[in-house]
Amino acid sequence: MIEFQHVTKRYEGQFTALRDVNFALERGEMAFLTGHSGAGKSTLLKLIMLMERPTAGQVLVGGQALEHTPRRRIPYIRRHIGVVFQNHQLLFDRTVFDNVAMPLEVTGVPPRDIARRVRAALDKVGLLKKEQLNPVSLSGGEQQRVGIARAVVNKPPLLLADEPTGNLDPALSTEIMELFREFSRVGVCVLVATHDIDLIEGMERRVLTLSEGQLTGDGPVSTMEGAH
Ligand code: ADP
Ligand code: ADP
């Protein structure tokens, strides 16, 4: 689903954020991406989302090399990638339903299908009963689940999360991870960037570790540096 082949990213001003990174993630695989602040996690996610381009090497998504993607094709490719952010980026001037419907509205899905798909997504995150509320009235964990429903409403084969539990306590964080695990069980490839080692250790999944832009670890949790 995702493949990095000798990927190097050097930002203007010469800073090398990623250095010869190689890995592949399969359909239905769930993995963590970890490393200290500044290690290159966000840069790696941005390369997958086509928000940045590699300086050298290749990024493939769904078997397709992104290298020569024309600018006008980028929105189409992004539609197949669900993204969950730490600060969920919900709009507080509309309902939960309307927040989740947004990605469908921009792609011109008919209203009847929108209603069905939004409810299917809200059902998966356990928030069907709250569809008419304003997200302001929800707890932090619920707001993050709305963000996840919005990320999956298009049924993307690939789900990326950047510090999705940064503002949540351990119990709620675990709940969010269980949700991601369920998506991976139905075939979605899930990549979660986090520096929350305790959370990763509880999950028994593959861990990709970046340090100073290099992939220094790739394996089960037990092989992770600093794991106890
Ligand atoms: P992480 O997400 O692991 O904290 P980032 O990918 O955000 O790491 O950053 C990796 C390195 O690249 C950092 O040293 C950061 O300062 C640098 N960097 C990130 N974005 C840019 C940019 N747009 N221009 C220049 N340097 C950047
Ligand atoms: P429909 O296909 O009729 O819209 P659903 O939206 O309920 O029905 O989804 C059908 C099945 O597809 C469910 O079992 C769901 O878990 C699974 N599925 C596959 N890919 C995804 C995805 N990216 N996000 C959410 N569910 C998905």
What confidence score (pLDDT) does residue 228 get? 45
What confidence score (pLDDT) does residue 160 get? 97
Mean pLDDT of 107-134: 95
**Burial of 157 per CB tally in 10 Å (0-12, 13-18, 19+):** middle
Q: What percent of the chain has pLDDT over 70?
A: 98
131 Cα to the center of ligand 2, angstroms: 19
Per-residue tokens: 65: 């090399």
Q: What are phi and psi of 118, to 5 degrees?
A: -65, -45
Query: For 31-90, how does the pLDDT look when each residue is reduced to its tens digit (9 = 90+)?
Result: 999 999 999 999 999 999 999 999 999 999 988 888 888 889 888 888 899 999 887 789
Q: What's the complex ipTM?
A: 0.65
210 Cα to the center of ligand 1, angstroms: 12
The amino acid sitting at 185 is R
Angle at 21 between CA 32 and CA 45, to 5 degrees: 50
By most ligand atoms within 8 Å of CB, the mutation choice from 155, 179, 181, 182 for ligand 2 is 155
Place of tokens 């940064």: 166
- List the residue whose alpha carbon is closest to atom 5 of ligand 1: 40
Quote the CA–CA distance of 203 and 30 in Å, as a whole number: 10
Place of tokens 């969920």: 88
Which atom belonging to ligand 1 lies closest to the Cα atom of 35?
A: 3
Global model pTM greater than 0.80: yes
- List the residue whose alpha carbon is closest to atom 18 of ligand 1: 17
Helix (H, G, I), strand (E, B) or coil at 161: strand
